[in-house]
Amino acid sequence: MGLKTPLYDSHLVHGAKIVDFGGWEMPLHYGSQIEEHHAVRRDAGMFDVSHMCVIDLSGERVREFLQVLLANDVARLKVAGKALYSCMLLPGGGVIDDLIVYLTSPTSFRMVVNAGTREKDLAWIRRQAKDYAVSVRERRDLAMIAIQGPNARQKTASLLAPAERESALGLPPFCGAAVDSWFIARTGYTGEDGFEVMLPVEDAARTWSALHAAGVRPAGLGARDTLRLEAGMNLYGNDMDEDHHPLESGLGWTVAFEPGSRDFIGRAALEAARRTAGREFVGLLLEERGVLRSHQKVCVPGATGDSSAGEVTSGTFSPTLNRSIALARIPRTEAAIVQVEIRGKLYPASIVQPPFVRHGKALIKI
């Protein structure tokens, strides 16, 4: 029997197909993954992300600690509620996890890490925190619901009292704030506007029902994956992991090399990686019928030797584009077309710059 979120019974009420997801019993879809995908792009959908791990960090040296722990620089967070996306690295540069961290007070931060890496993340953070006298508190008392889509914020705010509604709707992108017993963040994993709401476990089912009554459609893991891939967003374990550093995972923008005096974990390895050609992380658009999937071989024209082939890290059929798309790690090339091996046959695919879709609009030519 797998782990269950506080919304497990709510998923059953809505007819969810439940699957194992890293040890959690989670909804794959509620009847139609495609319809759930389109609901988020066109209106509003909600996802149970209560399996994610929320961690509160506090202490007089917590900022100093995070400047060492994370590849991005929390010195950029100057206003309470402001959020930062970053990777947490091994000394060799491999990605332990990707995460979002929020400044909540001068001496406290809130961090949200992935469900599948919960235990190793907590162990790593606690080990590093000892030298800084930082308190590490896992918030198992909180559930988390992501409400995404062009109408998501308005429909979520309709559940709040007028004063709280105004506060929530006034949140800038990539910021969060405490609104009564909720922590509402204007963040997401779909390429659409919306909120991620952390709330007491005992409020989760009632809030889910209220959102459904407000016209927000439940959506499962299937739609979450097609949405995030259209938005060009990485998935831990596919597009990045402990064997690959951010610079070869399309995440160079999340590494703050300045100031040069900030000696974060993994910095020396990334500095060395910057001086080599390495591999590049690209988007692919399949030019013929077929479906791109992770681990498929990518043949790059002109590349030779043992490293001549790349690999699809994430692939899917895009409901918005009606084409197959992928993220891939390949040898650096000037070519515009590569070939992907699908069931023993080579298919042409164009190299494109992710994201593929944002705010319901195609960002590439199809």
- The closest of 218, 276, 211 to 247, measured between CA atoms, is 276
Q: Are residues 283 and 226 in the same domain?
A: no
pLDDT exceeds cutoff 80 at 10: yes
Q: What pLDDT shows up at residue 366?
A: 80
pTM confidence score: 0.96
State yes or no: pLDDT of 280 exceeds 90.
yes
Residue 126's identity, in one-letter code, is R
- 263, 332 Cβ separation under 8 angstroms: no
Residue 259: what are its φ and ψ, rounded to 5°?
-75, 150
Lowest mean pLDDT among 41-45, 52-56, 262-266, 306-310: 306-310
Reported as a single tens digit per residue, the pLDDT across 71-82 is: 999 999 999 999
Residue 198 covered by a domain: yes
246 in any annotated domain: no
Q: Which of 192, 215, 230 is the last residue of a domain?
A: 230
Of 198, 230, 262, which residue sits at a domain end?
230
* 88 domain residue, yes or no: no
Query: 208 is in which domain, residue-wise?
Result: 8-48+141-230
Region of residue 4 (phi > 0: left; psi between -120 and 50: alpha; otherwise: beta):
beta
Domain boundary among 174, 204, 230: 230
69 lies in a domain? no
Confidence band, pLDDT 50/70/90 cuts, at residue 302: confident
Residue 34 pLDDT = 98
Q: Is residue 58 predicted with pLDDT exceeding 80?
A: yes
CATH, residue 296: 2.40.30.110
| Residue 111 belongs to a domain | no
Average of per-residue pLDDT across 179-196? 97
Residue 176 and residue 312 in one domain: no
Average pLDDT over residues 55-72: 98
β-bridge pairing 309-318 and 361-362: unpaired
* CATH assignment of the domain containing 182: 3.30.1360.120
Both 31 and 160 in a single domain? yes
pLDDT in tens, 324-360: 999 999 999 999 999 999 999 999 999 999 999 999 9
Q: Is the pLDDT of residue 32 over 90?
A: yes
Strand partners, 278: none
Let me know whether 207 and 355 are in one domain. Answer: no
Print the SS3 string covering the chain: CCECCCCHHHHHHCCCEEEEECCEEEEEECCCHHHHHHHHHHCCEEEECCCCEEEEEECCCHHHHHHHHECCCHHHCCCCCEEEEEEEECCCCCEEEEEEEEEEECCEEEEEECCCCHHHHHHHHHHHHHHHCCEEEECCCEEEEEEECCCHHHHHHCCCCHHHHHHHHCCCCCEEEEECCEEEECCCCCCCCEEEEEEEHHHHHHHHHHHHHCCCEECCHHHHHHHHHHCCCCCECCCEECCECHHHCCCHHHCCCCCCCCCCCCHHHHHHHHCCCCEEEEEEEECCCCCCCCCCEEECCCCCCCCCEEEEEEEEEECCCCEEEEEEEEECCCCCEEEEEECCEEEEEEEECCCCEECCEECCCC
Q: Which of 91, 93, 109 is nearest to 101 (CA)?
A: 109
pLDDT, mean of residues 24-37: 98
Query: Is 190 a residue whose pLDDT tops 80?
Result: yes
Residue 305 has pLDDT above 60, yes or no: no
The pLDDT of residue 244 is above 90: yes
What tens digit of pLDDT does each residue of 99-122 get?
999 999 999 999 999 999 999 999
Q: How sure is the predictor about 40, in pLDDT bands with cuts at 50, 70 and 90?
A: very high
Q: What is the mean pLDDT of the chain?
A: 96
Which region among 62-71, 94-103, 305-314 has the lowest average model confidence (pLDDT)?
Answer: 305-314
Residue 20 sits in the same domain as residue 160: yes
Q: Give mean pLDDT, residues 269-276.
A: 95
Structural Rg of the chain based on CA atoms: 21
How far is 234 from 239, CA to CA, in rounded Å?
Answer: 6
